[in-house]
Amino acid sequence: MDTQQQIERAAALIVNSKYIVALTGAGISTPSGVPDFRSPGSGLWEKVNPLLVASSFSFRLQPQAFYEWARPLARKLLKAEPNPAHHALAELEEMGLLKAVITQNIDDLHQKAGSKRVLELHGNMQQATCLRCRKVVPILDMIERFLEEDEMPYCSCGGLLKPNVVLIGEQLPRWVLLEAWGEAERCDLMLVVGSSLEIVPAAEIPFVAGRRGARAIVVNYQPTPLDSQADVVIHEDVAEVLPQIIGQVGRLVG
């Protein structure tokens, strides 16, 4: 089956579904200039050991290493804009067909594209929490000074601020994970976009849906563990393919 036939089949599945949930990973944001973690030559873990810069233990022991690593990523996140794949999911939600986006990303691009219901499994870069007084502050209030002065961000009480992202060794936000699990059990179609499904527990979510009888569509450059069970699998650029699928959906429901 060629790509166009797969696109048409995916659109038909979407139109005939009652409760669609999307799971997105780093691959949906790479067309926006946000690097993923494992791509050869460009992945964030290519030149550093993640346990030394992005684990909860290393952050408390040597936070300067984390912020030196995070500074160039923060610059890219500030510049990043939603791409056609983000906008396609927002459009599908606007149609009333997509009920939730479960994302592994921390870049806020789904919200910028207009998605209303976004479950952020790994937190976000919108807020930071003081490790001393637990005060939560907007990151935008400190980001310019942090980027310009190469200093670590501190709270007004003197405590170190940590971005509200999930580091290696930390638990995912419990209420977000429970809500994501509930959406997986409720949906009748799971749309996996830009995720290699290698990181648990996020990788388990489509399989939870499948055990409840949900169909599955995978749009990702690389193969995933779900491919053999999915109804449609397209290994191409999500920013090109997903808008074509949603465009076909619009023609079918219009």
Determine the 3-state secondary structure of 102 from DSSP.
strand
* The one catalytic residue among 87, 110, 122, 235: 122
3-state class (DSSP) for residue 81 = coil
Secondary structure (DSSP) of 106-170:
-S-HHHHHT-S-EEETTEEEEEEEETTT--EEEGGGTHHHHHHH----B-TTSPBEEEEEPPBTS
Which amino acid is located at 197 in the chain?
A: L
* Burial (0-12, 13-18, 19+ Cβ within 10 Å), 171: exposed
| Residue 122 is among the residues annotated as catalytic for this protein | yes
**Residue 153 and residue 128: Cα distance in Å, rounded?**
9
Q: Which amino acids are annotated catalytic?
A: 122
